[in-house]
């Protein structure tokens, strides 16, 4: 039985980082290429989902959803609940790679600008030298290219495909193609490859621990301010809709 906390209608699993790796392993072993869906909701996700019914409905159907941000922790706190642990996207990525290396699971990296998934592969292999990364492709695959990539993935039949195209694009992509993808699990990774490839630097550990990485990212990528302008609205919504139930879509009006 999954223990979940629902934040503005989006169900999120209450698990530790270690459990996230174990559950992913279990999903892979049970899947038989049925493309289980793993998502990592953060504050922006939840806000986008409350304006976009398609995205909202997709998030209801995850096989695992990890709590990715400080805002998600706050959402639980305002319901007098508590997540066991915050699981930043990159930490989850690395935990799954650790499990994959140990278990011999194969991995495909899809997303980011050309060169980024290849550089990600090169860098993660330094930490996990026996990991089987069987393929990579950038995340700009409109039209013909998309078909080719799906065919390549289906030939390789990896256990895990990491899809890093940003939200909600990656979740919609996984959902739309889940029936044809011959993979065990597909998971949305946002900007993780950009960090792993060294394109964007993560905040120093002390800042990460303080839960202030969002502020660090803002100083690095000022255009994020537009995306972050949803945060005050998020807090207000949390305040007024503390216990909104799973699966109930009540659109938030565009501000
Ligand atoms: N991206 C992609 N295909 C697209 C649009 C975006 O592969 O069509 C990539 C982009 O290069 C970047 C990532 O998706 O690496 C989005 O990162 P962002 O920081 O926006 O994601 P977040 O972690 O905030 O969800």
Average pLDDT of the segment spanning 26-53: 96
The yes-or-no verdict on residue 45 having pLDDT over 60 is yes
Measure 90 CA to ligand 1 centroid, in angstroms. Answer: 14
The string of pLDDT tens digits covering residues 31-43 is 999 999 999 999 9
The average pLDDT across 244-249 equals: 60
**Ligand 1 atom with minimal separation from the 192 CA:** 23
Per-residue HEC secondary structure of 155-202 comes to HHCCCEEEEECCCCHHHHHHHHHCCCCCCCEEEECCCHHHHHCCCCCC
* 3-state class (DSSP) for residue 91: helix
Q: Nearest 5°: phi and psi at 110?
A: -125, 120
SS3 state at 85: coil
CA 136/CA 112 separation, integer angstroms? 10
Shortest CA distance to 64 belongs to which of 108, 20, 104? Answer: 20
Summary mean pLDDT of the chain = 92
> Do the Cβ atoms of 30 and 61 come closer than 8 Å?
no
Read off the pLDDT of residues 116-133 as tens digits, 9 standing for 90 and up: 999 999 999 999 999 999
Distance, in Å, from the CA atom of 74 to the CA atom of 106, rounded to the nearest integer, reads 35
Q: What are phi and psi of 6, to 5 degrees?
A: -100, 125
Distance 175 CA to ligand 1 centre (A): 17
- The alpha carbon of 166 and the centre of ligand 1 are apart by a number of angstroms equal to 4
* Closest approach atom of ligand 1 to CA 138: 7
Rounded to whole angstroms, the Cα distance separating 143 from 95 reads 33
- Please answer whether residues 183 and 105 qualify as being in contact, where contact means their C-beta atoms are separated by less than 8 angstroms: no
Point out the ligand 1 atom lying closest to the alpha carbon of residue 193. 15
Rounded Cα–Cα distance for residues 30 and 41 (Å): 23
Q: Locate the ligand 1 atom nearest the alpha carbon of residue 227 and give its number.
A: 24
Tell me the mean pLDDT in the region 77-104. 96
pLDDT at 68: 93
Ligand 1, pocket-test mutation among 42, 191, 201, most atoms within 8 A of CB: 191
111 CB less than 6 Å from ligand 1? yes
Mean pLDDT of 111-115: 98
């Amino acid at each position: 039985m999954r223990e979940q906390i629902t934040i503005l209608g989006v169900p999120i699993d209450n698990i530790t980082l270690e459990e996230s790796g174990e559950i992913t392993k279990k999903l892979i072993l049970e899947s038989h290429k049925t493309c289980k869906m793993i998502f990592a909701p953060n504050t922006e996700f939840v806000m986008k989902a409350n304006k976009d019914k398609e995205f909202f409905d997709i998030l209801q159907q995850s096989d695992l959803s990890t709590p990715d941000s400080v805002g998600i922790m706050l959402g639980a706190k305002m319901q007098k609940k508590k997540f066991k642990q915050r699981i930043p996207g990159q930490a989850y990525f690395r935990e799954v790679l650790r499990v994959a290396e140990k278990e011999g699971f194969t991995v495909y990296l899809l997303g980011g600008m050309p060169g980024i998934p290849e550089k990600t592969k090169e860098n993660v292999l330094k930490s996990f030298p026996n990991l089987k990364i069987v393929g990579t492709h950038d995340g700009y695959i409109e039209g013909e290219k998309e078909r080719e990539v799906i065919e390549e993935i289906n030939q390789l039949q990896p256990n895990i495909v990491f899809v890093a195209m940003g939200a909600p694009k990656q979740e919609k992509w996984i959902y739309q193609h889940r029936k044809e993808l011959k993979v065990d699990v597909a998971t949305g990774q946002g900007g993780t490859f950009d960090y792993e490839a060294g394109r964007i630097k993560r905040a120093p550990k002390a800042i990460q621990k303080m839960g202030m990485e969002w502020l660090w990212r803002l100083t690095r990528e000022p255009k994020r301010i537009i995306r972050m302008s949803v945060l005050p609205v998020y807090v207000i919504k949390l305040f007024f809709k503390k216990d909104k139930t799973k699966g109930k879509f009540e659109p938030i009006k565009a501000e």
